[in-house]
Amino acid sequence: MASPMNSPGVPSGLGENVLLTKLDDVANWARANSLWPMPFATACCGIELMATASSRFDLSRFGAEVMRFTPRQCDLMIVAGRVVMKMLPVLQRIWLQMPEPKWCISMGACACSGGVFDTYAVVQGVDRFLPVDIYVPGCPPRPEQLIQAVLDLQSRIKSGGTFTGKEFSLRILPEGPPRFEPDEIQRFQDRNELDLKRPTYTPEH
C-alpha cells in the first residue's frame, strides 16, 4: 500500500489519512482474516479439530474460530476424518451449498488418502471428488499442524486471491489422483479374466 502523502492534488492535512491499494488486496485481507470453518468431522480427527478451536490452542488468535454447522454461513470446509461412500454425496452437497469464495482443508491421513482403511466402503481421499486446497498429514494431526494449515491458507488467499474469484474459475480439471490405482485395474482384469497382457517380444536370433 502506497501512501499518497506527496501526490499533487491531495489537500494538505489529508495526506497521512489516505491509503491507496487494490480492491483485490482489500478483499483478500478481509477474507483471510475471518475464515469461518465448516467442521465436517466424521471420525477421530474431529476431536483434534475441537482441541484446535478450544482454549489451549485457540484458533481464534487467527480469526478462524467461528465454526458454523450450516454450510450457508461458512467459507472453509475442514474435512476431518474418514469419509465413507455413503457420506461422500453428503459431503459434496454441503460443499456445493457453501457460498463463494470457499476453500477446503483435508485434515488427517484418512481424509487425504483413506489412511489405513483401504476397504470397499472408505473413499480413498476426498481430493478424488472435491477440490482440496491444503492437506494436513498425520494420524491425527497435532492442533499446531491444523493452525499451520490455516496460516498457510491465509497466506495463499493473500497472495493469489482476487475480488471476483477468477482464480477459481481457472481450475477446471480434477485435481486429485485418478480414480483407479494400477493394482485395482489389475484386479478388475483378473476378475473379468481379460487377457490384456502385452505380447512378449522374442528376438529372432
Partner 1 sequence: MKELPAEIDYWLRSKLPAAQVSSSSFRGQSRVCVDRPNIWESLRALRDDAGFDMLFELTAVDYLEYEGARDRFGIVYGLLSIDTGKRLIVKTFVNEPDLVLPTVTDLWKSADWMEREVYDMFGIVFTGHPNLKRLLLPTEFTSFPLRKDYPVKGRGERHNFPIITRAES
Footprint on this chain of ligand SF4 (rule: CB under 6 A): 43-45, 81-82, 108-110, 115, 139-140
Q: Which is nearer to partner 1, 51 or 88 (CB)?
A: 88
| Cα separation values, 48 from 24, 41, 70, 132, 142, Å | 34, 10, 20, 20, 7
Q: Does 188 bind partner 1 (CB under 8 A)?
A: yes
Q: Which of 1, 139, 184, 186 binds partner 1 (CB under 8 A)?
A: 184
Judged by CB under 8 A, the number of residues near partner 1 is 34
The region of 11-19, 37-45, 92-100, 156-164 touching partner 1 under the rule CB under 8 A is 92-100
* Residue 28 binds which of partner 1, ligand SF4, none (CB < 5-8 A, kind-dependent): none
Q: Which of 54, 60, 187, 189 touches partner 1 by CB under 8 A?
A: 187
**Three-state secondary structure along 153-167?**
HHHHHHHHCCCCCHH
- Pick one of ligand SF4, partner 1, none as the site partner of residue 129 (Cβ within 5 to 8 A by kind): partner 1
Residue 129 touches partner 1, criterion: CB under 8 A:
yes
**If contact means CB under 5 to 8 A according to the sort of partner, which of partner 1, ligand SF4, none does residue 119 touch?**
partner 1
CA–CA gap between residue 111 and residue 124 (Å, rounded): 8
**CB nearer partner 1, residue 124 or residue 154:** 124
User: Smallest distance, Å, CB 73 to ligand SF4?
Assistant: 25
Applying CB under 8 A, among 58, 60, 180, 186 the residue interacting with partner 1 is 180
Q: What does the binding site for partner 1 look like in residue numbers (CB under 8 A)? A: 85-86, 88-89, 92, 95-96, 102, 118-124, 128-131, 168-176, 179-180, 184, 187-188, 191
